[in-house]
Amino acid sequence: MKGIEGKNVLVTGGSSGIGQAIAIRMAEEGANVAINYVGGSAGAMMTEEAIEHAVHMCMKEIEHHGRHTTLVGADVSKEAEVERMFADTVADLGGVDILVNNAGIQVAAPSHELALADLEKVLNVNLVGAFLCARAAIRHFLAENKPGSIINVSSVHEVIPKPRFVGYSLSKGGMENLTKTLALEYAGMGIRVNAIGPGATITPINRAWVDDPVKREMVEAHIPMGRAGEAWEMGAAAAFLASDDAAYVTGQTLFVDGGLTLYPDFRESWSSE
């Protein structure tokens, strides 16, 4: 794709799954990549050792394409750590041209039983973290007087309610408006802000239903295309939005969901006629 080769990309939550696939795709397109991760995060559902192993495997894959990589550990919900992460990335890569806000967690609980601390944790990582990283990126773009691209990894649940995951739904609904607001505010300065909205995707965090034939059938029965998405497909969509091929696109969420947002229960018409 046009306009990615030689660019510097920062991917938050790049240790596995969609974030890792995006990082690798950016490298395949010729970018240098900074991989953000947070060791020992309960939301990551992996041990610190497993996270570090995944990050290094991602780095190995990227370096296979001859690109420069760097690791930047940071909790994106913490302002000081985000500022340090950007400073370290700029120092190592020489700048940032593309930010991918992928870091995210979720907590399951009936809404009337959800602890405030758990709600705040999800919002702080998924939404506040995306804002903090976007703010840092925009400040960098403006200071360097250069265009830039921000890709927010949202979800179909920015428009589809997700009972028992109200914090996640709130964060992704907020991310939709964050995307649109920043896109409108900075469009005249050459800064584009878009999002991808993955549907059900085969990633390590979803192994509980991916590896269970009954649960997987339940998930895929709701998808018009009849299958879950692959992480590489999310990487391809993110790369497109970051590229010059999408130079006239801003403020949009590209749903990569096999038709999940198309009201699948209406596949068969039911009307009064």
Task: List residues with catalytic annotation.
Answer: 168
CA distance 108 to 45: 13
CA distance 174 to 189: 23
Half-sphere exposure of 191 (CA within 13 A, CB side): 26
CA distance 42 to 106: 10
Through-space distance between the first and last CA atoms of the chain, rounded to whole angstroms: 48
> Of 97, 88, 171, which Cα lies nearest the Cα of 131?
171
CA distance 263 to 259: 8
Classified as helix, coil or strand, 138 is helix
Q: How far is CA 79 from the centre of its chain?
A: 19
